Structure 1
């Protein structure tokens, strides 16, 4: 056993050439630190904290820029875009380093600590460039947290049926943070002053940092899980760990050349752009069409995120029905749901199409995570951080371009025309989601520009569909 594994789990005796643990010497806390439940708790805390802080800060930023600094809406939009910039820069760096140095714990600790520090910077910022720096740092911290958290879950739970349920459960915590953030931030800002939301966010980031400190790095617990399995008599069902080919390690470029991965990332970019496009144009539409006040708009918008609480069920169903099939169904449904949002003639009737629209996000995003993990396992393993880094980058690109495109379309074609345009874009990507790699059906090897996709597919042994 490597020295670092022995250091993290020091109480080991060897019997029959196998590493065994003297479990009687481990207290409840030491056992919990190495448990799958601890990983789920820390992952949920990390994503909940990240999205809660995001939800708290976003409604306050326009007030800071316009009322305190006296700047226009263009400056506000640029400040919002800085988050995606930080996310895009940090995600590949954290993904590659966490895979290369076989650690998930340290990047997560850095992400949580960075989140705690950058939110304090929001509270003391007096100039626009300081706000931009804080916003970029917030995005960079989010990139580290999201990428490493998803990879950590794949390390600990494998790529079997449990992974979809686990990731769906953790994403539900993320959704809860998204709902609670604006409410908490608004109350703190209104009743306790300008700095109170940022102090609260910093405390949450510190709690996330301490939670990350408690667990043993999940990537180093293979021997522990095998010992637990033998102790419980589950020798026929060992933990699902991917065997990493150290002689031919996966690079992020090899993942980008794999069309099975690229098709999912492209889909997520388009879907994320559709969801982020709703954020700036829906409140304007509800205000103009139904004369809705801010409270009513907030209540109606919550219906978009409520369906994501069914993500654990979606994760379980997707493994039974097929994860790629489930993603394809979600893409078709979102293309139907988008135009329906513009049809109701009553404010509260908007809730039904928005619930349908929100449900499609879980149907697409939840199966996509274990699907990417399974693809990495087929390619040799050892690159969960990088593949989920690509997932995170794809989402952030969609989040960045969606509002900008929606603003332009809204100005020229109205609310219904904008929704129809995004509906058409999602429908166009649907065939690629169902098929995966279209080049496996087309003999394009003689064309140099497509050769990498065919080679990337044919070099991997395919699963027997009867299994």
Structure 2
């Protein structure tokens, strides 16, 4: 494959894999405004994040195995159509329940880009080359958490939260055209697939090593989703940041994911990948412990920003290495493996998100506790299922 072609695939697959950040991060600065205009509660507002995450999870579990049979391109095209339509309708929502439903549809449709981007990379690469490509993919993907809230905060200076969904619809149209004209089929129609999709999923679920990778990245991502759900209210309502100030902090944390994912690609070529993965999990746990400790001291913005950066940026290392090792392990069933990776991340995030707002808008105790529990569980899974593979 030529460097030019590889670069094009990197940009396209990176953008397709960013439907999670695109679907959530752009409108995070608008959550307080959305809550006021739709006359609803913080928990119901955060439920719109939960339903999108669940939609992303459910969509992947169907689309992934389907792409193993019919190829990657058709599911991706149909997903772009659905995402564009759901985004347009979400911008017209007049009550929170209609918005919550459309967010679920948006998640299901956007799942196509998430699951097929990982599967396409696995079709084309293997070994440490796959880890390096995943690192680059995460770098492109990570740009969107950096720019999405900035764009969202900027849009709010001259329009309302509805304008954000109209921008997402335009993004959907651009990606639809790009996939149609510029994405090759890397997995032709598998009409003679020997096993049913459910059997393949069950096999992967029983695979301790594959599920070890999957649970580690899912739990570390669960901490990220707790941060996504609670950081807007925490930093704006408790620490007094403006929507633009919050967008800047959120962007810097997203930049941390980009930098650390590139570092993961470098480290994976020079050191044992399992030790790189373990190091990322341990640093994330240190950040979670530090954030929890800030609950017991007077509020200080700097002292919460440092642990938040550690927690968020380590997602770049953990997700890059764990996803690459998991997909290599499930190479023959890349679509199904990708689906389970995405399902685990999004279902954990979907479960955690509503609990972040349990104590209202003026406490980050639930967010800090949930992040800490996720990081502890991730290290425990690594030690029980994967630590012996280091040697």
TMscore range, shorter length: 0.7 to 0.9
Q: How big is each residue's C-alpha offset from its partner over 1:94-122, in whole Å with a ceiling of 9 and x where there is no partner?
A: 01100122x11111112222221111111
Structure-2 change in CA distance of 1:57 and 1:289 (3 Å) = closer
Q: Give the CA deviation at 1:434.
A: 4.3
Q: Offset at 1:429?
A: 3.8
* Corresponding position: 1:112 with 2:80: yes
Match of 1:339 in 2: 289
Deviation of 1:419 (Å): 3.3
Which residue of 257, 263, 272 maps to 1:308? 257
Q: Which residue of 2 aligns with 1:267?
A: 216
What's the CA shift for 1:399? 1.4
Question: Does 1:66 pair with 2:36?
Answer: yes
- Hey, which of these two has a bigger chunk of helix by percent? 2
- Tell me the alpha carbon deviations over residues 252-311 of structure 1, each in whole angstroms, 9 at most, x when there is no partner: 110000011112222223212222222344455556765444444443343322211221
Alignment of 1:54-453 (within 5 A): 54-60=24-30, 63-67=33-37, 69-101=38-70, 103-157=71-125, 159-192=126-159, 195-213=162-180, 214-220=182-188, 251-283=200-232, 285-286=234-235, 290-310=239-259, 311-341=261-291, 342-343=293-294, 346-377=300-331, 381=332, 383-408=333-358, 415=364, 419=368, 422-423=371-372, 425-434=374-383, 436=385
Structure 1 residues 398, 319: closer, same or farther in 2, change over 3 A? farther
Q: Number of residues paired by the alignment?
A: 379
Q: Deviations over 1:185-238 (max 9, x none)?
A: 2333431456533332211111111111122212259xxxxxxxxxxxxxxxxx
State the shift of 1:246 in Å. 5.8
Three-state SS of the structure 2 residue aligned to 1:306 is helix
Bigger Cα displacement from structure 2, 324-333 vs 51-60 = 51-60
Q: Could you say which structure has the larger radius of gyration?
A: 1
- CA RMSD of the aligned region, Å? 3.3
Contact 1:39 1:215 survives alignment (8 Å): yes
**Following the alignment from structure 2 to structure 1, what is the Cα–Cα distance between the partners of residues 236 and 153?**
20
How many Å apart are 1:53 and its aligned residue? 4.3
In structure 2, relative to structure 1, the CA distance for the partners of 1:40 and 1:366 (3 Å cut) is: same
Q: 2:35 & 2:150 partners in 1: Cα distance?
A: 20
Q: Compute the TM-score of the two structures, normalised by the length of structure 1.
A: 0.71
Which blocks of at least 5 consecutive residues in structure 2 are unaligned? none
Q: Report deviation, 1:137.
A: 1.2
With CA pairs under 8 Å and 6+ residues apart, which has the higher RCO, 1 or 2? 2
Aligned equivalent of 1:232: none
1:59-117 CA deviation, whole Å, 9 max, x = no partner? 435534531x333334323333221221222111101100122x111111122222211
1:47 is the counterpart of 2:1: no
**1:124–1:416: structure 2 CA closer, same or farther, 3 Å change rule?**
closer
Cα deviation, 1:1-34, whole Å, max 9, x if unaligned, reads xxxxxxxxxxxxxxxxxxxxxxxxxxxxxx9899
The structure-2 alpha-carbon separation of the partners of 1:191 and 1:392, relative to structure 1 and needing over 3 Å to count, comes to same
Q: Distance in 1 between matches of 2:20 and 2:357?
A: 26
Cα distance, 1:427 vs. partner? 2.9
Aligned position for 1:238: none
